[in-house]
Amino acid sequence: MRVIFCGNTFAAARGLLGQQLPRDDIVTVETERELANCRSVDVLIPLMFRIDAALLRSLRPRLIQQWGSGLEGVDLEAALALGVAVASVPAAGSNTQSVAEHVLLLTLALLRDLPQAQENLRAGILGAPLGRMLAGRTVCLWGLGATALAIARWTKVLGARLLGITREPLSDKAALYGLDGCYQTTAFRQALAQTDILILCVRLNEHTRGLIDADVLSALPQGAFLVNAARGALIDYEALRVALERKQLGGVGLDVYWQEPFPPGDPLLRLPNVIATPHVAGVTDRSYGEIAAAVASNIEHLRRGEPLDHRVV
């Protein structure tokens, strides 16, 4: 099998898949032009590349296998029309746990003003800044899926009050997540008015793109925090920048961006109330080990002509 990784990001993925499939030809292409010139592709792993209809017609891979769950960069209609199978690895197991741990890290870093604490250490200042505890504060999860469930368990253990926003606020869902309040998406203002930390756990689609706009941000109390390790495009960039500069938001923790890789000179990264990491929430040894095993298993299914796991198209 010839397996092509699109781009040089998420470098650990290639080595781990190579361990699972030592006899296959696993290569990396770094640019879209280089990818367009490839021939004889069995499996395409898009990572952060856009796989459009023209590329699909040119390459004709047998399988597009995402390294993870997000397929918003793949033209699924074109894949269906061309008979190209598309599969993902749903968020589950160690991946959801890894993302939950990273969300907790960003949340605690915001509450304890970690950037200022590091500056104070370098300046020889002890006992400052004055941090805030997570215990007793209200965390709101917008979107209640597998990752949100893992986050909910951590935040409850640490003593936070927990709210949820979802399309279907059922009582059994509230009980499963240990919610102190569960609100329908149309009633988001009622939930956000009580929120100290808003954590996004929503899938990106045509309905959720730009979901967190100026109207939503204005519904949060002054100084509230926002954490996003889901998808960058869930947030309106300009609305976020203005809310941070005007101190409507106390700070934001970001692991995902509107463009990836995110330009290192972007003005957002210079703001003191921004804590940013390079899309690493799910990048852990156990999470990637499980994803590599799932991807390798699907490639073996393809080799043997068997049904694919988690096929989308």
Cα–Cα distances (Å) from 120 to 101, 123, 130, 257, 277, in that order, read 26, 5, 12, 28, 21
CB 45 within 8 A of CB 73: no
Residue 31 CB neighbour total at 10 angstroms: 12
- β-pairing, 181-184 with 197-200? unpaired
CB 133 within 8 A of CB 82: no
- Cis peptide leading into 221, omega within 30 of 0? no
Cα–Cα distances (Å) from 5 to 64, 136, 211, in that order, read 10, 45, 31
3-state SS string over 116-185? Answer: HHHHHHHCCCCCCCCCCCCCCCEEEEECCCHHHHHHHHHHHHCCCEEEEEECCCCHHHHHHHCCCEEEEH
Distance CA 191, CA 183 (A): 7
- Sign of the CA dihedral with 308 first, then 74, 141, and 139 last: positive
CB 61 within 8 A of CB 40: no
Q: Tell me if residue 238 falls in helix, strand or coil.
A: helix
Residue 88 CB neighbour total at 10 angstroms: 21
- The residues annotated with a catalytic role in the active site are 231, 260, 279
